[in-house]
Amino acid sequence: MKTAIHLLALVVFAFVTACSKTSTPPKPPDVDYYTCTMHPSVHAEAPGKCPICGMELVPVKKRDGGGPSASPSGTQTSANHEFVVPVERQQQIGVTYAKVERRLLRKEIRAVGTVEPDLQKHWAFVARADGYVQELIVASAGQIVEKDEPLLSIYSPDLATTTRELVMLLRMRDEAKTPAARETPLRLIKAAEARLQQWNITPDQTAELEKSRTATEVITLRSPFRGVVQELPAHQGVAVKVGDHLVDVADLSTVWVWAEYYESELAGLKSGQTVSVTNKSFPDAAFEGIVAVVNPFVDPTRRTSRLRIDIPNPEFKLRPGMYADVTLALDAGEHLAIPVSAVMPTGEHNTAFVDKGGGKIEPRDLKLAGQFGDAYAVESGLSEGERVIASANFLIDSEAKVQGALADFRQR
């Protein structure tokens, strides 16, 4: 009986041993260990699934001195730092490609600006003679006025005295019998006209006075251009003294947009550039303007500099105080270009993976000349016509890191 039990135990042990050998095949002699392409820190002595993400482990083959070594999915490296990721594997992980092309690059810099009136086309009327506001011809701020349209009138005793004096001097000049007799009235007439001009009496109003020979007691202020009444602090019937603020008129046929740009963007900004401006009030309209001033001073807190854009505004659509979206396009000329997705930034390096055909991939360090939209300008590292991997770069990077291809590449 004991002999039968021993024989049964030996049979069971042999069966278990055979099953274990069948379920866990011996590691091939050229395989160093098994790892996960997403988690290269995983090292296993047998194939299976990654304990972190559940992906199938892949073999990492042993390295023979300085010769080629194998890596997951048949990846190989050589002296020129190429490694191989089979085309089937590239298709599985969603690799796409892009061609290195020479093309015209441009980028857009966007900012938010504020609409302001053109201060060179803004006129503030102040009282230049003592008197009283006799009539407000414009009713309120916001009213559109045409050129030479009357704004308000001021009764001024000083004006009455000066205009009567001018009328008297005109008569003296006309009644003078000799040129010498006319010299004194002519000199006094010029002085009286100069005083009237200082009181905002226009040359046309002075000419009319000289023609009618009728003294006036009222100063009528007229708009110097077509514009909008911005402020109207004067009130009908109140007394005014020299220097009192009466009315402001702004010509909005041209407006300024002040936009702020970060100091990192200032290198591409200069006067004369064309700018496109949009506003939420007119979503289907784009206003074209010209950069007039790039303020050289940088705000020490915001780290921005202001830029002034002059914009024609004949219909007065853009109004002071509005916000505006400013788009400035910068042309960088022709450069070799690749998609942004084709570049692997690593802090110190920018790497692209060049497809050499047949599954061969070569890492390249790039020198970039800036980002323009969805493309990078390439100064060195690539040649026109080459094909680079434009997606799934992180997975390709993982495939390379598993067998140290990039480590050797960085140490070259």
Dihedral sign of CA atoms 222, 227, 228, 233 in order: negative
Integer Cα distance of 231 and 249 in angstroms: 7
Average of per-residue pLDDT across 62-83: 50
- What's the helix, strand, coil split of the chain in %, to 5? 25, 40, 35
**Amino acid of residue 167:** V
User: What per-residue confidence (pLDDT) applies to 405?
Assistant: 57
> What is the reported pTM?
0.60
User: What per-residue confidence (pLDDT) applies to 295?
Assistant: 92
Integer Cα distance of 401 and 271 in angstroms: 49
How far is C-alpha 402 from the chain's CA centre?
A: 41
Instruction: Label residue 65 by pLDDT band (50, 70, 90).
Output: very low
Percent of the chain with pLDDT strictly greater than 70: 85
Identify the top-confidence range among 34-43, 53-62, 164-173, 391-400.
164-173
How far is C-alpha 89 from the chain's CA centre?
A: 41
User: What per-residue confidence (pLDDT) applies to 77?
Assistant: 39
Integer Cα distance of 231 and 259 in angstroms: 25
Cβ neighbors of 397 (< 8 A, separation 6 or more) are 344, 353, 406
Q: Are 112 and 259 in contact (CB under 8 A)?
A: yes
Q: Which residue do the tokens 């290269």 mark?
A: 40
Q: What is the largest CA-CA distance in the chain?
A: 168
User: What per-residue confidence (pLDDT) applies to 307?
Assistant: 94
Integer Cα distance of 251 and 120 in angstroms: 9
Average of per-residue pLDDT across 332-338: 85
Which of 122, 149, 116 lies closest to 251, judged by CA?
Answer: 122
User: What per-residue confidence (pLDDT) applies to 22?
Assistant: 47
User: What per-residue confidence (pLDDT) applies to 297?
Assistant: 93
Geometric angle at alpha carbon 279, from 276 and 281, rounded to 5°: 150
Q: Which residue do the tokens 């690059």 mark?
A: 105
Domains annotated for the chain, with CATH where assigned, are: 73-104+334-410 (2.40.420.20), 108-117+252-332 (2.40.30.170), 129-246 (no CATH)
Q: Are 295 and 240 in contact (CB under 8 A)?
A: no
pLDDT tens-place string over residues 241-284: 999 999 999 999 999 999 999 988 888 888 999 999 999 999 88
Q: Are 197 and 206 in contact (CB under 8 A)?
A: yes
Count of C-beta atoms within a 10 Å radius of residue 63: 15
Average pLDDT, the chain: 82
User: What per-residue confidence (pLDDT) applies to 293?
Assistant: 93
Dihedral sign of CA atoms 129, 132, 133, 135 in order: negative
Would you say residue 110 has pLDDT above 60?
yes
Which of 68-82, 129-143, 202-216 is predicted with the least confidence, judged by mean pLDDT?
68-82
Cα–Cα distance list, 266 to 18, 50, 150, 307 (Å): 75, 50, 46, 10
